[in-house]
Amino acid sequence: MATIYQNAILCFLLATSAVLSAAPAAAIGRALASLVRQQPLILKYHKGPLLKGEITLNFVWVGNFSAAQRAIILDFLQSLNSNPQKPFKPPSAATWWKTTENYATGATKVKLGRHVFKRGYGKTLLTERHLVALSSGVGDGKSITVVLTDRDVLVDGFCRFCGTHGTTSGKQGRVRVPYIWVGNSETQCPGTCAWPFHQPLMGPQDPPLVAPNGDVGVDGMVINLATLLAGTVTNPFDDGYFMGPPTAPLEAVSACTGIFGSGAYPGYPGKTLVDESSGASYNANGVTGRRFLLPAMWDPRKLACSTLV
């Protein structure tokens, strides 16, 4: 069964709507922050197998992604690997990913694998069955198949959720291979899946943050891909780390939904760094001078959501 990931803002705001309606405007942030701090957050390990060591990522690009868009996503993934000889300027995407080592996974390194390009899906409504079919047979062994759909590709349920991860068959159908699907929400539901780079569907209508790579849809995809990749590594087969029911689990990052920096509360992503020249918000540095905004990840050692800034 695929694990569905819903992005921060809609569910988080609905869950705290009573606080929003009852508190004076000036006290909302403090009240919500206090409310969040009071909630226990424990992700239980259910003793299932996890992904460890070097993990190959194989890609299925559905639609017409530009070379620049693909570069943003691939640079993000390559930024997850630490380079002792040439470390990234802190805070870094590698430091963010290193939090997964505090799970039973130990150290994990991602390796970019093969690329499959699928076009001609503009008029097709893709269902979960289609996504599984697109990802099947692409990888094997210690790999994850990443299915990415562009802004013009319609996916059933998109806007109710921003991505999924599950399992499919590997080459010759011999093993279960984890897969991830993430869609570009630039035109379909940016207020849900590209927040905080777009005004939210509901709640406080503060100006959105400026996307660090100048592409609201793809920078939003990075957030959702980061969420699902961490969830896949720490809960690949629905019996790893999660909180709540296995049919709707809160995982390594989805348990920290809506938090990007210290002081976050519903409608406010928290403290970020801001590029002086472009005004873009970010909290992680990566390869080739890239910058990214990455969501908080639950840290098993701290028993809390950990942010980079």
Each residue of 155-165: pLDDT tens digit?
999 989 999 99
Task: For residues 248-276, give the mean pLDDT.
Answer: 96
Instruction: Answer whether residue 37 is part of any domain.
Output: no
Instruction: Answer whether residue 176 is part of any domain.
Output: yes
- The partner residues of 56 in beta bridges, in order of sequence, read 111, 143
Show the tokens assigned to 291. Answer: 């910058």
Q: What is the extent of the structural domain holding 155?
A: 53-306
Helices (H) and strands (E) in the chain, counts: 8, 16
Output the pLDDT for position 39. 63
C-alpha–C-alpha distance, residues 76 and 87, integer Å: 15
> Which parts of 87-242 fold into alpha helices (H)?
93-98, 128-135, 190-193, 216-234
Instruction: Answer whether residue 75 is part of any domain.
Output: yes
Instruction: Answer whether residue 301 is part of any domain.
Output: yes
Question: pTM for the full model?
Answer: 0.90
Per-residue pLDDT tens for 73-118?
A: 999 999 999 887 677 889 999 999 999 999 998 889 999 999 999 9
Per-residue pLDDT tens for 2-13?
A: 888 876 444 444
Instruction: Answer whether residue 149 is part of any domain.
Output: yes
Per-residue pLDDT tens for 29-86?
A: 444 444 445 567 899 999 999 999 999 999 999 999 999 999 999 999 999 998 876 7
Q: Phi and psi for 286 in degrees, rounded to 5?
A: -145, -160
Contact 199, 179 (CB under 8 A): no
Instruction: Answer whether residue 19 is part of any domain.
Output: no
Contact 291, 246 (CB under 8 A): no
First and final CA of the chain: distance in angstroms? 35
Q: Phi and psi for 169 in degrees, rounded to 5?
A: -85, 145
Per-residue pLDDT tens for 166-223?
A: 998 766 556 789 999 999 999 999 999 999 999 998 878 889 999 999 999 999 999 9
Output the pLDDT for position 142. 85
Output the pLDDT for position 227. 98
For the chain, the domain total comes to 1
Residue 18 has pLDDT above 50, yes or no: no
Instruction: Answer whether residue 133 is part of any domain.
Output: yes
Instruction: Answer whether residue 106 is part of any domain.
Output: yes
